[in-house]
Chains A and B, each alone.
Chain A
């Protein structure tokens, strides 16, 4: 089992590929079935954002080991238009992810660590980590 998997996101069928890869890696790292689903769902949201807003990018899913803890790190990267107001993009509270929203706050709730960095005209990178319980 490789330590990381790279999936190019060029079309929406790649969203499924990315989340299946994420699920497999999470399973190999010993995550529970529920957590595998959470990770796959978070990947789906981020990969979809890439398609919708940047049209293409990549997702890298890797196994992590921090001392005695195993984890999965998901990085979604694109060179799209960037997010103007990252705080706003992350500030959804508990409301439903509707068609206007980017699903970022939702994805953040599914994972343990979450980082969003974006520059207008340059691109966006989302980094998320989930630790095995």
Chain B
């Protein structure tokens, strides 16, 4: 189960075995480093508790990070998890499971809104605390201490890289979901009379959106057996040749389904500009404003709208 979840992370972030190996290559992290880290494990178990205590004392000394630990039970639990995390650094076997685990942790940090600056600062504190203990332990052989510490740094930087990736991915996912929500809201097709659809288009039209709009419209034509569509583009941002072509395609597709499209909201200036770009606007049936367009549509459908005379009994006067 954990393995499956890990796989989901790896897939979504597009971090496969080859990618992990590449990162290790770039960090120059190899089997020698793995061995070195494993030799550090015993020492790590000895200093784990005091280092954690120091680290959390540091977190609690700053209001912003203290805020995450108002509940003492949370604090205790997190310390325990943190200890596991740090010990894992020196337990070897830094393969797919390891990476999946690190990605999961990064995701948790992002989801509680721990800003990168605190995460990185905390990690830095940890590294400094470990550095002094490692150099102390290796006393007479500082070159060995340095070498082991460098192996640790390589792994830690890979971890940080993964955590940052999860942050970015989470932010991008949110943005993508918001985009989709906006797109759904922004392609309404409204039936305003039998056989008559209104398609108000607002905002920026890119090819993705143009496709969505066209698909929605065509489905609506079938569902409503529409014969006329009033497509209002008053609210469309920039209408350049690309957008114009998207609109013309939409009109052509509607026509193939037997529906004629009246385009409203195309200002004279924009029309001029498009014609001078060589866009074949004469294919389009355009009417200046929305009201005019709807009236034209009703006419095409055989409606005649007339105003009822004022009621005779209304004799109120100023």
Contacts and interface: CB of A to CB of B under 8 A. Distances in A.
Direct touch of chains A and B (CB < 8 A) = yes
Interface of A: 34, 67-68, 94
B245 A68 contact: no
B16 A34 contact: no
Interface of B: 11-12, 14, 16, 215, 245
B245 A67 contact: no
Contacts of A34: 215
B215 A67 contact: no
Contacts of B11: 67-68
A7 to B, nearest CB: 28
A94 B14 CA distance: 36
Query: Is chain B's interface secondary structure helix, strand, loop, or mixed overall?
Result: helix
A67 B16 CA distance: 8
Given A34-B215, A68-B12, 6 more contacts: A67-B11, A67-B14, A67-B16, A68-B11, A68-B14, A94-B245
Contacts of B12: 68
Query: Is chain A's interface secondary structure helix, strand, loop, or mixed overall?
Result: loop
Nearest to B15: A67
A67 B12 CA distance: 8
A96 to B, nearest CB: 11
Contacts of A67: 11, 14, 16
B199 to A, nearest CB: 18
The 8 closest A-B pairs by CB, nearest first: A67-B14, A68-B11, A68-B12, A34-B215, A68-B14, A94-B245, A67-B16, A67-B11
8 contacts: A34-B215, A67-B11, A67-B14, A67-B16, A68-B11, A68-B12, A68-B14, A94-B245
A68 B12 CA distance: 6
B172 to A, nearest CB: 13
A18 B130 CA distance: 64
Nearest to A68: B11
Nearest to A69: B14
Nearest to A65: B11
A125 B215 CA distance: 31
A49 B304 CA distance: 52
A94 B277 CA distance: 14
A77 B12 CA distance: 34
Contacts of B245: 94
A34 B12 CA distance: 25
Nearest to A94: B245
Contacts of A68: 11-12, 14
A53 B261 CA distance: 39
Contacts of B215: 34
A94 B245 CA distance: 9
Nearest to A67: B14
Nearest to A32: B215
B278 to A, nearest CB: 11
A131 to B, nearest CB: 13
A35 B11 CA distance: 24
B20 to A, nearest CB: 13
Nearest to B280: A94
B6 to A, nearest CB: 14
B72 to A, nearest CB: 40
